[in-house]
Amino acid sequence: MRWILDACTLIYLAKARIFRKFIELTQFPVVIDSTVYEEVVIRGKHEEHKDAFEIEKLLKEFMIPVISVDVSKEIYLFRDAGETSCYILAKDHGICITSDERAYKKFINFELNTIRLDTFFFHAYQKRILKKNEFMNILEQLETVNATKPKSILFFLEKLNQ
């Protein structure tokens, strides 16, 4: 099993400054595909997005493999090459992490192992790997970069109080 990050997840983890915490909590290897790398790092650096330089550094620091995937045969299923590659990699013993609502719904419809980023951290809290205040801080950080919604936070708050 492995965790597959799509472009939005990679960007959200970096912008929220929780990439390191995410890596600490993963029990499986983390991978991205070459399409996501191209979109986030190569194009991001070309367009001078500060996050792209930070993400490149984090990927090197944690030795995250970049896997080349041919999306040409299944791109018609999705509008986005990154989502398509996440789908392909997750079909082959993986769990795709996405915060993109449209992609998440498609992945679920294809019965793909997928999880939202905020839910990933909630599961860590449920397993007692994260303390309540750590989880709440992470939710706050995710909300500041639009990686979670107030509706989701309310859902998690209700779960915490049960």
Calculate mean pLDDT across residues 24-45. Answer: 94
Q: What pLDDT, on a 0 to 100 scale, did the predictor assign at position 80?
A: 84
pLDDT exceeds cutoff 90 at 52: yes
Q: CB 47: neighbour CB atoms within 10 A?
A: 8
Burial profile 107-126: b = 16 or more Cβ within 10 angstroms, e = fewer: beeeebbbbbbbbbbbebbe
pLDDT exceeds cutoff 90 at 99: no
**Cβ partners under 8 Å of residue 60, min gap 6:** none
Q: In angstroms, rounded to a whole number, what is the distance separating the alpha carbons of residues 79 and 76?
A: 7
DSSP H or E stretch at residue 17: none
pLDDT exceeds cutoff 80 at 79: no
Q: What is the mean pLDDT of the chain?
A: 93
The whole-angstrom distance between residue 148's C-alpha and the CA centroid of its chain comes to 12
Calculate mean pLDDT across residues 94-121. Answer: 93
Calculate mean pLDDT across residues 13-24. Answer: 96
pLDDT exceeds cutoff 90 at 115: yes
Task: List beta partners, residue 30.
Answer: 3
pLDDT exceeds cutoff 80 at 37: yes
pLDDT exceeds cutoff 80 at 98: yes
Where residue 51 falls among pLDDT bands split at 50, 70, 90? Answer: very high
CA dihedral 138, 142, 145, 146 (to 10 degrees): -160
Calculate mean pLDDT across residues 144-154. Answer: 94
Token pair belonging to 2: 């492995």
pLDDT exceeds cutoff 90 at 100: no
